[in-house]
Amino acid sequence: MNLAEVLARLAVAGTDQNRKVYARHGVTPPLYGVSYAEQNRLTKELGTDHELARALWDTGNHDARILATRIADPAQTTPEQLQRWIDQVDNYVLGDALAVLVVRSPHARTLGERWCASSQEWIASVGWTVLPQIADLTEEEGSQRLAEIEARLHASANRVRHAMNGALILLGLRSPKLEKAALASARRIGKVEVDHGLTGCKTPDVAEYIAKTIARRHGGAPPATTGPGGKRPGPVKKAAARKPKSSAKPKTSAKPKTSAKPKPKPKPKPSAKPKPSAKPKPKPKPKPKPSAKPKTNANAKPKPSAKPKTSANAKPKPSAKPKPSAKPKTSAKPKTNANAKPKSNAKSKPKSNAKSKSKSKPNAKSKTTSAAGAAARRRAGRR
């Protein structure tokens, strides 16, 4: 992303509300009014780009210069470049951003000591912000700086007083020895008066801030905001608070509640089994079955017709002749059997023979009856 594209992004991200807020903190135009959330996104997107940082700073735009301090390469900075930049700082917001870059550079000690001695408010305030954060600062040097702050603080410029108060805190957090010395200096200095204008900013109390920061380092309450040298041991407390909750789970997990087996006792409700046990349905089924039996009895009627054979011997039973005369009605049934003759000839033949026999039997009976009548007549004539 080139300079024009970055400036276009900054211009789009700026808002009137942010411009009003920055104005209350002493920021002067030109500026877009870009929020720090958008600055963070652009910083991650651009990464380290020292040449682009130089170009952004040279635009003179406040938001572009804030971004420049974030993407500049501390290793590529020079004392001359950083000195030129500090000479152009005109508000503490930009001065604090530049101090972060200087602390990360190899020129922190040299520039910090030089700037602390400056009579210019913004340069001196940045110097006192950088100096207590020098990594190789010894306890002796720290003690000397504490004495210097104690002697000069009340006579310094407004923002320099605020920076010196912050330096007391940072030096007191470097070691237990410097902590005692810083607290002693703070008691002798007393209350530090700083005019923060129309903002809600406040200058922190040295003793109170040091005590809170040390408490946090040892697992105290988590800080509301980050501070110099502060840590965030808050998760330790959260974890401790979660443990009793998890440990209480087995107590509340009164399994008898979940194992409320009496609830399934209302299973007698599905005792509506009489519905499927509608056994009356199979009862009507056997009734139609016997109704079909008379059909088979009709077929069996020709079988009792064999009885006349035995009744044929009894001569006085010629009156049964009308019964064989009714047989022609049943003879219609053999017609249907005649259709089945081609299927099984063997079965049909005996049936037809039986019928022929039955037909011939009435002829034989007539002959015998006629003979019996003739004989009776002869006997009567003889008499």
Residue where a domain stops, chosen among 237, 265, 288: 237
367 and 231, same structural domain?
Answer: no
Q: Is residue 279 part of a domain?
A: no
Residue from 313, 315, 308 nearest 359 by CA: 308
Number of domains in the chain: 2
125 and 25, same structural domain?
Answer: yes
Q: Tell me, what amino acid is at 98? A: L
What pLDDT score was predicted for residue 61? 98
Residues 167 and 128 sit within 8 Å (Cβ to Cβ):
yes
Collect all residues with Cβ–Cβ distance below 8 Å to 86 and sequence separation of at least 6.
95, 98, 111, 115, 122, 123, 126
DSSP-assigned letter for residue 117: T
Residue where a domain stops, chosen among 193, 209, 237: 237
What pLDDT score was predicted for residue 371? 65
- Domain residue limits at 340: 316-383
What pLDDT score was predicted for residue 259? 42
Which residue is it, tokens 């007391």? 168
Give, for all 383 residues of the chain, the pLDDT tens digit.
899 999 999 999 999 999 999 999 999 999 999 999 999 999 999 999 999 999 999 999 999 999 999 999 999 999 999 999 999 999 999 999 999 999 999 999 999 999 999 999 999 999 999 999 999 999 999 999 999 999 999 999 999 999 999 999 999 999 999 999 999 999 999 999 999 999 999 999 999 999 999 999 888 654 443 443 333 333 333 334 444 444 444 444 444 444 444 455 555 454 444 454 444 455 555 555 544 444 444 444 444 444 444 444 444 444 444 444 444 444 444 444 444 444 444 344 444 444 444 444 445 444 555 666 666 677 766 65
Counting DSSP H helices and E strands in the chain, the numbers are: 20, 0
Q: Is residue 288 part of a domain?
A: no
Torsion, CA 44, CA 49, CA 50, CA 55, rounded to 10: -90
357 and 219, same structural domain?
Answer: no
What pLDDT score was predicted for residue 164? 98
Q: Is residue 372 part of a domain?
A: yes
Report the 10 Å Cβ neighbour count for 8. 12
pTM: 0.58
Residues 215 and 221 sit within 8 Å (Cβ to Cβ):
yes
Residue from 153, 166, 42, 151 nearest 95 by CA: 166
Residue 106's φ and ψ, nearest 5 degrees, are -80, 5
Residue from 216, 226, 224, 221 nearest 238 by CA: 221
Residues 203 and 186 sit within 8 Å (Cβ to Cβ):
no
Residues 27 and 6 sit within 8 Å (Cβ to Cβ):
no
Measure the CA–CA gap between 274 and 256, rounded to whole angstroms.
34
80 and 200, same structural domain?
Answer: yes
Output the six-digit token pair for 187: 């008691």
Q: Is residue 86 part of a domain?
A: yes
Report the 10 Å Cβ neighbour count for 314. 9
Q: Is residue 310 part of a domain?
A: no
Let me know if 170 is exposed, middle or buried by CB neighbors in 10 A (0-12, 13-18, 19+). Answer: buried
Collect all residues with Cβ–Cβ distance below 8 Å to 18 and sequence separation of at least 6.
33, 34, 35
325 and 217, same structural domain?
Answer: no
Kindly write down the DSSP assignment for every residue of 333-351, as one continuous string.
HHHHHHHTTTT-HHHHHHH
Measure the CA–CA gap between 323 and 340, rounded to whole angstroms.
27
Residue from 140, 95, 141, 137 nearest 115 by CA: 95
Radius of gyration of the chain (CA): 62
Output the six-digit token pair for 105: 């550079």
321 and 190, same structural domain?
Answer: no
339 and 197, same structural domain?
Answer: no
Q: Is residue 60 part of a domain?
A: yes
182 and 89, same structural domain?
Answer: yes
320 and 202, same structural domain?
Answer: no
Residue where a domain stops, chosen among 237, 271, 298: 237
68 and 215, same structural domain?
Answer: yes
What pLDDT score was predicted for residue 219? 80
Measure the CA–CA gap between 69 and 112, rounded to whole angstroms.
17
205 and 326, same structural domain?
Answer: no
Whether the link from the prior residue into 30 is cis, omega within 30° of 0, is: yes
Q: Is residue 303 part of a domain?
A: no
Q: Tell me, what amino acid is at 229? A: G
What pLDDT score was predicted for residue 369? 56
Q: Is residue 370 part of a domain?
A: yes
How far lies 134's CA from each of 75, 167, 196, in Å? 16, 11, 27
221 and 110, same structural domain?
Answer: yes
What pLDDT score was predicted for residue 83? 98
